[in-house]
Structure 1
């Protein structure tokens, strides 16, 4: 069985589209379509129902998913063993949150690139958690500890959050007795998370404070919350390392300062011997360590 046929079958099954599968695989959609037809002809089975909305697995196709994934894991493991070299060059895929990528990792990359000019770092910032076993990434820097897959996981640091508002907003609220009475926030406007992110510690804190009141703004993006707070729309719970760097934002003392999340670095076990993956992992660990005071919000509130 041609590995490419199995790989393309899984890509179409997971995305439901030839175009999305082709984009993920780095080929054109017609190539994926031909491979799916070739696989169906080889097996003598109809694997997908075609429609205007996309490709949907048939019962026969559903029945092959588990075996195809076993095939996939074997192929990826073979590739990883072959890539375990001592040369720090090639491509490494890092999965992390968009705010960590934009505010922590990318600003530090020039020095890293100077040390390893032959290494290309690809940063994946999908909202969903990537699957390291399926080679969707080589390593991940996350705020939630990975619990599945053949991965090596270690804690590399801690990030703290706090309550922030614009300088003008905080100045206005200081003369509002309702807003500062007994440390309560009855007179404040808040920027909150959409329901999909209701499990986040920041979202839960804001919900407790609002006690049923409507927020001023609901977003699904951390950076949008920062911009909204900076514009004076209300208070938002933000990571200290992002908010403290904004001159237009000011911390508002509250028990939101106790919100802390740990950084977890996950690397697929088969890639532990890869020099290029080790180089990125060491860079990330040192980056978090070097910025520990900033990540904890200690620089402005010592």
Structure 2
């Protein structure tokens, strides 16, 4: 028995008329009549006795009511299960840089959680040690795209970098004076920005070496030296940008474990990140 015809059969049986069923199902009167005729033809038995007062179930029709109701129950359960699976609920694990989390993602997070109150986020900012292929995170917002692995990747923006510091140090640098520079410790010497600073220092030691951009921004803010910072961080923290150009840009990538790309809660977070980066693209580009 086709469920679409079975629900029409049940509606006529309950309403006692074609018109009542048509109103309940929001179908045309002719459509309801045609469905009943089709079902009777397929089963080879009359389901209703037609009277001027309405439609009454035949013995054969009455015997089929429990089966049609079983189909109705199964259809409702199927729909409820699909609805539950499509709900944005549960925890999503996001790996990203601490500066992106603190300066871009967290301020906008109430918007996402307001739309999806059953969603929760676990944000890891120790991004270097997080491997999506080992299911250590569901998705990542990072400055370097993975070359291998069971992941999808999408470039969202190009991030610009500048030389930032307090107004007096930037003014001195713009006049050509040698000013102290803030750099990275040896464990981060392979970073693009670390290599630029090392070349710019030309053998001089940095006034301060750190392991995080946030520490460098704070050190620049209190006047210890100039730091190479992404423009969204430098401008977002009230620092002054030097005229000297670093010539550095990095692509920002959204990386998602391929097996989770269609999961509703992961899709919701990925969509939120895409929209958020699009809103701030001008600031990110520098």
Deviation above 4 Å: which 4+ runs of structure 1?
none
Matched ranges for 1:209-288 at <5 A: 209-247=200-238, 249-256=239-246, 258-288=247-277
- Give SS of 2:86's match: coil
* Aligned counterparts of 1:259 and 1:287: Cα–Cα separation in 2: 23
* Structure 2 residue 120 is the aligned partner of structure 1 residue 120: yes
The structure with more radius of gyration = 2
CA deviation map 1:281-301 (0-9, x unaligned): 01101111110001112xxxx
Matched ranges for 1:38-187 at <5 A: 85-173=85-173, 179=177, 187=178
Displacement of 1:246 after TM fit? 2.4
User: Taking structure 1 as reference, are residues 125 and 173 closer, same or farther at Cα in structure 2, changes over 3 Å only?
Assistant: closer
Displacement of 1:151 after TM fit? 0.7
- Give SS of 2:265's match: helix
Displacement of 1:173 after TM fit? 4.6
CA deviation map 1:214-246 (0-9, x unaligned): 111111111110011111111110011111122
- The corresponding residue for 2:187 is 196
* Aligned counterparts of 1:245 and 1:271: Cα–Cα separation in 2: 33
* Aligned counterparts of 2:282 and 2:172: Cα–Cα separation in 1: 30
CA deviation map 1:176-199 (0-9, x unaligned): x651xxxxxxx1110011111112
* Aligned counterparts of 2:85 and 2:252: Cα–Cα separation in 1: 27
Q: TM-score, normalised by structure 2?
A: 0.68
Displacement of 1:267 after TM fit? 0.9
* Aligned counterparts of 1:203 and 1:118: Cα–Cα separation in 2: 41
- Give SS of 1:286's match: helix
- Give SS of 1:253's match: strand
- The corresponding residue for 1:75 is none
CA deviation map 1:141-177 (0-9, x unaligned): 1100012321111111111110011013224555xx6
> Retained in 2: the 8 A contact 1:191–1:218?
yes
Q: Work out the number of aligned pairs and report it.
A: 203
CA deviation map 1:126-153 (0-9, x unaligned): 1424121222111111100012321111
Q: TM-score, normalised by structure 1?
A: 0.64
> Retained in 2: the 8 A contact 1:85–1:273?
no
* Aligned counterparts of 1:140 and 1:277: Cα–Cα separation in 2: 11
CA RMSD of aligned residues (A): 1.6
* Aligned counterparts of 1:190 and 1:120: Cα–Cα separation in 2: 40
User: Taking structure 1 as reference, are residues 178 and 91 closer, same or farther at Cα in structure 2, changes over 3 Å only?
Assistant: closer
User: Taking structure 1 as reference, are residues 295 and 100 closer, same or farther at Cα in structure 2, changes over 3 Å only?
Assistant: same
- Give SS of 1:212's match: coil
- Give SS of 1:259's match: strand
* Aligned counterparts of 1:136 and 1:159: Cα–Cα separation in 2: 26
> Retained in 2: the 8 A contact 1:158–1:261?
yes
User: Taking structure 1 as reference, are residues 173 and 96 closer, same or farther at Cα in structure 2, changes over 3 Å only?
Assistant: closer
> Retained in 2: the 8 A contact 1:165–1:234?
yes
* Aligned counterparts of 2:193 and 2:274: Cα–Cα separation in 1: 25
Q: Which runs of 5+ in 1 are unaligned?
A: 1-83, 180-186, 298-302
- Give SS of 1:161's match: strand
